[in-house]
Amino acid sequence: MAGQVPAPYRSPHLSRLHPSRRTDAALSAAPVAAGAVQGEGGAPPGSDFYCDEALSGRTPVTVVAETDAVLAFEHTHPSHPVHIVVMPKQHTPSLVDLGEGGDALLLKVLTVARDVAARVQEEHGAARVTANLGSYQESEHLHIHVTYGHQLESA
């Protein structure tokens, strides 16, 4: 698939992309702005970038997939050529503290993460799926990273 521009991600498990946030995202390399702060949107540890910025619309995101409960979008400051964040729309502190959403919400998040990872693997031959905890988790909101490629030098 090298050189081809892939179609926006769609899956039988996912609803249509939300038109107000849709940008026809392809799972392709995203440029990193010079001097951009890497990590969860440059958010300080202990904050919730995902609720405060991504879900509120204050920070625009390129939607890759969306359901009623889950949003997947291109990372705003990617550390890999392909870097997608999959997160629940309901505040969920972390993978080990699922909050009110519990296992049912985790299953919805993992279903979308699986579908996004399958598309990345199909298009690029490999995918990495990670979730950070503790001091590695810069934003206190459960999120799963789906990445491909070597870590970018500026990361």
Q: Which one of 124, 143, 145, 150 is the catalytic residue?
A: 143
Rounded to the nearest 10 degrees, how much is the dihedral formed by the CA atoms of 59, 62, 65, 67? 30
| Rounded Cα distance, 82 and 91, in Å | 25
Give the contacts of 139 (CB within 8 A, at least 6 positions apart).
40, 41, 43, 47, 48, 49, 50
Task: Identify whether 143 is a catalytic site residue.
Answer: yes
CA separation, residue 24 to residues 80, 112, 135 (Å): 20, 17, 34
Question: Which residues belong to the active site?
Answer: 143
